[in-house]
Amino acid sequence: MQVFRKKCESFDYGQYWKINYKETRLNGKQFKFKTIIYCRSKVFALNILRKKTEEDNPGSKISHADISMISSNSRINNRKLSIVDWAHVRNAAFPNEVNVLFKK
């Protein structure tokens, strides 16, 4: 996993990036969300998140973001991702055919 963290620019193909972030709305309220973005780099994933957030909620800002790549070694509740789990990741990732950023 350290090798991926050191890769600073971008991959040759898209990766799934899990982002935990705090969104601050114009009225000052803060919300914590998790989402998945499919793109080539961590920096590009953050740019996509910022642009989509601004598009959905004008004036909203991302004040904190923790970004990690979802890989074949990733685990959920101490178990490896199954084929079904990967299908859910692909379906929830932005961009998608309905242009919705799914937030949890």
Mean pLDDT, residues 48-57 taken together = 92
> What one-letter code names the amino acid at 70?
I
Report the pLDDT value the prediction gives residue 75, as an integer from 0 to 100. 80
First to last CA, the chain: 25
pLDDT top residue among 74 and 44: 44
Whole-model pTM: value is 0.82
Strands 61-70 and 75-76: unpaired
Instruction: Give yes or no for a contact between 12 and 18, defined as CB atoms under 8 angstroms apart.
Output: no
Which domains are present in the chain? 7-92 (3.10.20)
100 to each of 10, 32, 77, 93, 103, how far by Cα in Å? Answer: 24, 17, 26, 9, 9
What is the rounded distance in angstroms from the CA atom of residue 28 to the CA atom of residue 52? 19
